[in-house]
A and B are shown apart, each in its own frame.
Chain A
Amino acid sequence: MAEIALAGNPNTGKTTLFNQLTGLSAHVGNYPGITVDRRTGTREVGNQSWHLHDLPGTYSLVASSPEEQIAHHVLTGQYGDAAFDAVIVVIDPMNLARNLFLLLQVAELGLPVVAALNMMDAAKEGGLSLEVDDLHHALGCPVVPMVARRGDGVAALEAAVASVIADPSRGQVRQTAWPAIVDRALKAAQSIPEVQARADGDARWYLATRPVVLNAERAGLGDEVQTALADANIDVSELRRAMVHARYAWLDPLVERVTTRSPRPPSWTTRIDRFALHPVAGTALFLLVMGVLFQAVFAWSDPAIDAIDGGASAASAWIASLLPAGLLKDVLIDGVLAGVAGTLVFVPQITVLFLGISLLEDTGYLARTAFLIDRIMRMAGLPGKSFVPLLSSFACNVPGVMAARTIASPADRMVTMLIAPLMTCSARLPVYAVVIAAVFAHSEPVFGFLSLGGLILTGLYLLGVVVALLVAFVLRRTVFQGESAPLLLEMPPYRRPRTGNVLRVVWRRLRHFLVETGSVIVALTVVLWALMTFPHSELPTDHPAQVAVTTTQAETPARKTAEARLDHAKQRHQLEHSIAGRMGKTIEPAIAPLGFDWRIGIGLIGSFAAREVLIPVMGQVYGRGAEAEDEDAFNTAVGDSLVRFSGMTPLVGLSLMVFFAIAMQCMSTIAVLQRETASWRWPIFAVVYLNTLAYLLSLAVYQGGQALGYT
């Protein structure tokens, strides 16, 4: 089996070529610890089998982003891959020097390379003509012109790779002449025995110096090399710069020699960008595109969500009818099935959002949004790329957190994911609606025409955003120090989106969510169910509801009502005596300063499943809802009970809403944070910081309000 890697700058058609080469054998996996897809596949060539690896697109092997680190790690065998027999470097001829820069770096690792000059069709259209033979002679390695999208040149590429596998010396590149500082560095590093043992030729110094070049603080081999370099009086940053300049100094005249450009009218991309990046027109277009995206996620997924909800209730009713009453049935229905349904309801929004994002990415517009929004996001210390994830979080925090994957810098991505839960998602709205209806519905309009409820709602949205900006500011100065990753982004040419590609991306995200995040959601749902179910507690036989049933005549309407009441009384009794119920009572002293009684305490614990669950949980706490005919009546009943039994005043209502605006009352968000950060550390951090903040703000509202004489 021959091992072959595909490397290349982003957007050179690497994946297109990979698909051409591997066909249906492609397999998508993950690199350990990071959420970057790892694509591998096989190709049968003669009686040989090739194992192909598609590396993430990268401009350089000296890493400054996770993608680049992966490319370097794979090529140097740090993920345990066998040494590569050949590396196909996919090259965009329109940017020959920058692409060949990467090819040189790969060759310096001592790996045989083949240059695949892709997109020759686009190059011709752009007025570029290329002396392929001259390029081959200048470089030394095979150079294969191709049009990967049409499959042109695949056979020639195959032959070139086969020849390099047979004789690796054919894949060598006539090396750059290095300036003296590099020679001195190499000599210094070679005094280290470990370096001598690692590889030979140029690879030796590259491997040796790279950790230093990459990051001076990195432990291991780098330390020794650093000392050796310091002993030899070599400045690391000078060395690093000298290496880059030397490669370009070698490439520039070469590229000049083999290319001719004939002038062309401005390309489509240039013409579109005059409009799309214009301060006024471009901003308007941006708002329109984002508006449509948001509307799609927020509203257009609704029918599908309702359908899934309906389906889930039908399924659990059906399964319930098959099983005998008992604990098994309860855990299946209220734990596992509820968790599965709780996972599935996110599918429509995730699908729509990722459809949108991958369309924007595929057309090249997503990179433009970074240019357009950077100035505003910079004020918040966030990169432009965090705009779309945060916007989507207003619909739902779960897809919002997932969308942060488009952010390359790990620190920026982390900050974005940690503040995403502060965006007011649609699950908070039912809570706000019930509370506002219960205590603010009859308030006087402000200034005679603004409804107080509407103002409060607006204020809650703003509160989330303001707190998010402050948190981002603080996180940037503490946990994730340093500026947000500098904006340095290539604007790819606009391209027609490829349906297959877009659907593949959506499907991969969905599958990942269903399998990985779904299992965490189900597990958390079962835990929550257990908290509300155990220990088991029987309603005392002398309870009025019990008595009412036994004293009414069977088969009468009065008996039916009494039985329904008894059911509710049982549920309420069970909930009150469960672990969650006891927790609600235990925390009462802690939440009393916020104006909440133990009933609301139980609601806070129960609504951990999802914020909107507060309403049904409260219904259960109050044993209300037996009489409610529809959802509206139920909501009103819950609102009344909040006022009657929990003493909810406008001030308490406000305190409760502020708590919900900030607190992490959503285990699906916790689950998705756990999956996306591949650790429990960050979701726990998020819960702690958000709930502490929520507590403090509610405390300030309630105590401050009281001090000012409000109730």
Chain B
Amino acid sequence: MTQARGTCLADAPLHVPLQVLSVSDVGAMTDRLVEFGMTPGARVEILRRAPWSGPLLIRLRHFVLTMRPDAARAVRVQAAGEQPDG
């Protein structure tokens, strides 16, 4: 399964260009995320993590959005440019 590959966006390092591998389907929240453009291959970067597991500030494609770590857990990413076969 694709789930095993890459790291989870919630745990990914700050300020590193990343690339989306997959977004698991855990309800309306992830639907919305995919509609926002969090599709396989899209570029993401974590800009900031609020303290005490607060929300993440993320650059997705060319805009900035904020979301909670639990939502970011549904997203698998890898460093941008790596071969997607992982």
Contact = CB atoms under 8 A, between A and B. Distances in A.
Contacts of A486: 28-29, 32, 67-68, 70-71
B51 A488 contact: no
B69 to A, nearest CB: 10
A442 interface: no
B32 A64 contact: yes
Contacts of B51: 279, 375
Given A244-B34, A244-B39, A490 B65 contact: yes
A371 B51 CA distance: 11
Interface stretch (B1-9, B56-64, B78-86): B56-64
A60 interface: yes
B58 to A, nearest CB: 10
Q: Bin the interface of chain B by size.
A: 20 to 34
Contacts of A94: 62-63
A375 B54 contact: yes
Interface in B17-74: 25, 28-29, 31-37, 39-42, 47-48, 50-55, 57, 61-68, 70-71
B29 A277 contact: no
Nearest to A487: B68
B36 A375 contact: no
A64 B33 contact: no
Nearest to B67: A488
Interface string A94-110: 11011001000000000
B7 to A, nearest CB: 21
Contacts of B57: 273, 277, 371, 491
Contacts of B54: 374-375
B66 A97 contact: no
A206 to B, nearest CB: 15
Contacts of B47: 273
Contact of A487 (B25, B40, B55): B55
Contacts of A241: 25, 31, 34
Contact of A98 (B37, B41, B50): B37
B10 to A, nearest CB: 13
A244 B39 CA distance: 9
B28 to A, nearest CB: 5
A277 B48 contact: yes
Given A97-B61, A98-B61, A248-B37, A371 B66 contact: yes
Given A486-B29, A487-B66, A488-B65, A374 B37 contact: no
Contacts of B50: 279, 371-372, 374-375
Interface in A246-291: 248-249, 252, 269, 273, 277, 279
B35 A60 contact: yes
Interface string A40-71: 00000000000000000001101010000000
A245 interface: yes
Residue among A95, A241, A486, A488 with the highest chain B CB neighbour number at 10 A: A488
Interface string A347-391: 000000000000000000001001110110010000000000000
A537 interface: no
Contacts of B29: 486, 488
Given A64-B32, A378-B68, A486-B71, A95 B55 contact: no
Contacts of A252: 39, 41
Residue among B28, B29, B53, B67 with the highest chain A CB neighbour number at 10 A: B28
A378 B54 CA distance: 9
B35 to A, nearest CB: 5
Contact of A95 (B28, B31, B63): B63
B25 to A, nearest CB: 5
Contact of B35 (A59, A367, A372, A491): A59
Contacts of A491: 57, 63-66
Given A101-B37, A488-B65, 5 more contacts: A244-B35, A371-B66, A374-B50, A374-B66, A491-B63
6 contacts: A241-B34, A249-B39, A378-B68, A486-B29, A488-B36, A489-B67
Interface of B: 25, 28-29, 31-37, 39-42, 47-48, 50-55, 57, 61-68, 70-71
Shortest beta-carbon contacts, A-B, top 10: A375-B54, A486-B29, A491-B64, A248-B39, A371-B66, A60-B35, A98-B37, A374-B55, A244-B34, A488-B67
